[in-house]
Amino acid sequence: MIYQRSSALFAEAKKYIPGGVNSPVRAFKAVGGDPIFVKKAKGAYLYDEDGNKLIDYIASWGPLILGHAYEPVINAVVEKAQNGTSFGMPTEIETELAKLAISMVPNMDKIRFVNSGTEACMSAVRLARGYTGKDKIIKFAGCYHGHSDSFLIQAGSGAVTFGSPNSPGVTQGTAKDTLLASYNNLAGVKELVQANKGELAAIIIEPIAGNMGCIVPTDEFIKGLREICTQENILLIFDEVMTGFRLGKGGAQEVLNIKADIVTYGKVIGGGLPVGAFAAKTEIMDFLAPDGPVYQAGTLSGNPLAMSAGLAMLTELNNAPEVFKSLAEKTAYLHKGIVEVLTEKNVPHQINRFGSMISVHFTDEPVVDFASSAKGDNDTFKKYFHGMLERGIYLPPSAFESYFLNDALSYEDLDATINALKEIDL
């Protein structure tokens, strides 16, 4: 395939935009080469500025669960835009979406809309701190909760060692209140909790991780977190920005049968437009301004275009829950096909999958946390990524990202993807 126009557009973008992109993973730094510039998309396909057609496995990093330019969503946005794009005042559609979202997810009474997953997670932690009167939080290595200062922390060397910032601009003062644990390591969490007895406001986790590949929690681990939080008066925050309304109507809480104290949402809830949200029981949510002392605000929060897209998307999913089964079956089919090809090629690999999330890791060892994910052979991944791209398959341009399938993908698309892999020399 030819990507001359994409390369020219990237060169031009770098003159005016840092790194030529507005989100780092788009720059192809992890895989090399120039990023692809998209012109349009429809269903399961991307069409780039060079006229290439690509089968899409990122779905805008998750929100487009029913495919690109899904007609009910597009129609809802266009219709709403004709009445104005933003008011900075309440609108009825905010309540409609809130009512629908709360009816679909377990264990939540009220929801507050924001503009991104980063805002949702940042606000959820602030709310947890305000509600509990405690400052420290535990997060897990490899889980990404947006670029808020509290979350850009790297590992300390033990249970009582504080993390340190892994981005300039994040202060040591912020870092000292964020403790880092290993995913799927319950003993490590218990050690941290005991070393910081009575000081922890929250434990925040991606219940199905998607930012170190797709990593599934063990039953012991996820149930153990719930038990620890209950025993120690710590709020359990599920970051369901990726998993909410993707793994099932009720998200990870439903499929894992675990009740979180606060849940954050994004991606699907915006139907492709910028929306985030966080939800909890009434007694927690009533600590938010204007009812309570914890301040959070945003002029574009509850934007009518974003609300209309989200309402249209969630209405479709609520009325046709069989889509979750359909997506899971397609993902399982892709999983089976990739395993057969890589096994025949004698290429070491691990494939993690849950619902419509899947990731391929070029390693002999099971991938259960960030450390094991980081052991993957990145040179093989680069060959894999570019080989697939040359054959019209667009995968996440990083070995640390989950694929997100959309239901517009046909079995012919899945077969084309598996057959493309057969042609690559790994």
Active site residues: 144, 239, 267
- Name the residue with tokens 């001359």: 4
357 touches 402 (CB < 8 A): yes
At 7, list the tokens: 């390369």
Give the whole-angstrom CA distance, residue 114 versus residue 415.
39
Give the whole-angstrom CA distance, residue 98 versus residue 94.
6
* Residue 360: CB atoms within 10 Å: 28
